[in-house]
Every structure is written in structure tokens, then in C-alpha cells.
Amino acid sequence: MTITNVATPSPALKTPLNVIGPAGFSNVPQANAVIGSTQIPTAIVYCEANFGAIDGKTANGLVRQSEKYQILSVIDSVKAGQDSGFVLDQKPNSIPILRNLDDALAHAGVVPDYFIFGIAPASGMLSTIERTLVLEAIGLGMNIVNGLHEFLNDDPEFAAASVENGVTLIDVRKPRDKKDLHLFSDRIADVTCPRIAVLGTDCAIGKRTTATILTAALNDRGLKAVLVGTGQTGLMQGARYGVALDAVPSQFCSGEMEAAVVEAFEGEDPDIIIVEGQGALSHPAYSTSSFILRGSRPHAVILQHAPRRAHRCDFEQMAMPTPASEINLIEVFGETKVIGLTINHENMTDETVDKAITLYETELGVPVTDALTKSPERLVQMVLSAFPTLERKLIAATQ
């Protein structure tokens, strides 16, 4: 798996949507990308006025790394004409940002397989203009990937349009039927490999990115690491195990979290399992961290923090917690140990990141790194220091 580094999103821009309707593309054939011997569906990602911003985290993540889709372009009229990789991390990736659906179709030359809604607004709902655009994409024959709390399959207009045009609506966050949901059973005790949860001091702070980089780095070192996703973006990117936890009824959240980890353990027989975090345990608006700690029962936690973030995103009146206070809360509530801190470098220079690393290592007594600007080996060493059995396994494999 190749991970491309990306700068942390800047605050969301709020500008009017600029979408021009279809221009004769209804009869254009569908397209797939072939990478190696595997055919990967192609996709356009919609992220109007939010690419590179906090609410654009789904699009940002898919541009950084995707195993399920070949991303052809991003729709955002505000940043149109730029390279998406350059916007995110000043490194071009040849995925252009285009003005509207017409431009995206013209760039593709054919109708892509999927239209992905890449914005994750706090409301979790489509606007009127966005509904019209999604219906246009359906009319063109594009399957829809939707990560919102609004489920398209439950909407009569979308459901009828999908049947009429022979396309699939994928509601990533929609939980399974209640009769199939899991209650906590303590089967997590049968998962004998180490489990690490990557949690944070806020939402949209880089937990998934750090978890993805860590999983890839551990696999590159020769350990079998499996990532368990807990949100819509990780599942869209291709996490084979996981659940969109914030859409599950609270009674079943711990059980669904446990079931996902057990399934990953039984299906892969890994050396280590990495669990993606959501929200923050101290955040009054989001409770998913508590279910992750209860359901996955992690042996250790890596905490993600943004030193220059003045307040919780979407809550200007709410100050950020300190890493020390969050660590204390996690360790008491989760009966676990925080083994390291990772830095989200938004609004920071390389120099201030280095100073923050030194400061927090002295203050907290744990290793600290920036998963995006520093070598992934630092993350690996963070884990190996906490779990010497894994390091001994790597040494034995080389002898």
C-alpha cells in the first residue's frame, strides 16, 4: 500500500455551488481502470468548496489513498485548475480539481463507474442543489457512494432513479438490520494479538491518516497488521474490516466494534490490529471514542493532537483539551496505556513541529512524532517499544 503525505486541511471555505448540467454525456460508455491484473472502478469525487478543508476530509482521504477506486478528479469550483496532491501536500499527484460535473466528465472522456460524495458536513444531509447533482449523476449511469447520515436508498426519489438507470446506491454509513447487530459479548478476550487504537483530542484531526500510515509501515517492516475502520472514509478507502460506528444505535456500538475486531482477527490471523479512532473521548458532541475503547479493548492507544488548533472544529466556544488531560481520561476510562503522541501540523512549520515534539516528549514521557512529515519508522518504533514481543518476532524472522 502506498501512502502519500498530505498537509492538514485548512478551515472550510463557504462559497456558492457552481454546477452546470450534463452536456450530452448520457451515451458515453462506462470506464474501469486496470492496475496490474486487477480492475479497479473509476470515480469522481464531489467536494464543492471544501477540498483540503475539514469538511472535505472524505475527499482528502480518498485522494491520499484508495484501494477500492481509482480517483480520476475532484469537483470543487473554488480550487478548480489545481492539482489535488499539490493542494494537500505540495506534491502533485495528477488528480485534477475541476469546476463541475461537465468538466469532470470531459476530463475522464467516459462516464466513470462511481460518483462519490466527498463532503462530511456536521449536518450529514444533502442540500437541495446537491440532491439535483446526485440525480444528474444517477441519470448518467453512475453508481453513487454516499457517506452521509442521509441514506439514499431510503429516499423514494433516489431509489426510483437508481432502478430506472440501473445503478447502485451505496450508503456507507447505513448499519445492518437491527436483527443482525451485535451486542457486546466479551469475545474480544479471544483476540490474542496486540490491539492499538489511534484516538485524538478532536474530530477531523488526522486519526485515520495516522492509523493508515502506521498499518502500512508495520506491514512494510514484515509484521502482519490489519486496520479496522470505524468511519465512512476508511471504509470507502478499502478497509476490509470495520463499521461506520456513529450510525449504529448506541446499544449495539460496543458489540459492533467488538465484532469487527474479532472478524479481522479470525479472518487474517494478524500480528497486530490497528483500530481507527473517531471524535475524542472528552468531546461532549461525539461518543464514538467511548465505544471504541469499550468494544475493542485496546492494549494501547496512540493519541493525535493539533498544537495550533485553538478550538474544537465546529465549536468555536469550546477550547481544545491538552494532550495530558486527554491521556489521563483515556487511560482511566479505557483501562489502557497511551504509548505515544502524533502531531497534526496544521498552521505549523517544520521548526515548530520539531519544538512541539521535544516539548511533549519532555512533558508526557512518551515518544512523539508527526506521521506525515517524519519517517514512518518513528511510528513503528513507538509500537515495537511498547510491544517487545513484536520486535523479537521481527528479529527471529531475519535469523
Q: Are 306 and 346 in contact (CB under 8 A)?
A: yes
Output the pTM of the full model.
0.86
At residue 123, the pLDDT reads 80
- Ordered domains of the chain (ranges, CATH): 32-171 (3.40.50.720), 180-398 (3.40.50.300)
Q: Which residue has the cell 486487477?
A: 38
Q: pLDDT tens-digit profile of 50-95?
A: 999 989 999 999 999 999 999 999 999 999 999 999 999 888 999 9
Average per-residue pLDDT for the chain: 90
Q: pLDDT tens-digit profile of 89-139?
A: 888 999 999 999 999 999 999 999 999 999 988 788 999 999 999 999 999
Residue 268: half-sphere exposure toward Cβ, Cα within 13 Å: 24
Which of 4-13, 248-257, 286-295, 313-322 has the weakest average pLDDT? 4-13
Q: Which residue has the cell 445492518?
A: 176
Q: Is the pLDDT of residue 249 over 70?
A: yes
Share of the chain above pLDDT 90, in %: 85
Helix (H, G, I), strand (E, B) or coil at 6: coil
Q: How far apart are CA 103 and CA 107, in angstroms?
A: 6
Residues 256-285 have a mean pLDDT of 97
CB neighbour list of residue 274: distance below 8 Å, 6 or more residues apart: 196, 197, 198, 211, 214, 215, 218, 225, 226, 227, 228
Q: Are 74 and 63 in contact (CB under 8 A)?
A: yes
User: Closest Cα partner for 8 from 385, 327, 307, 388?
Assistant: 307
Under the banding of pLDDT at 50, 70 and 90, the label for residue 32 is: low
At residue 27, the pLDDT reads 30
Q: pLDDT tens-digit profile of 153-209?
A: 999 999 999 999 999 999 999 999 999 999 999 999 999 999 999 999 999 999 999
At residue 398, the pLDDT reads 83
Q: Which residue has the cell 493532537?
A: 305
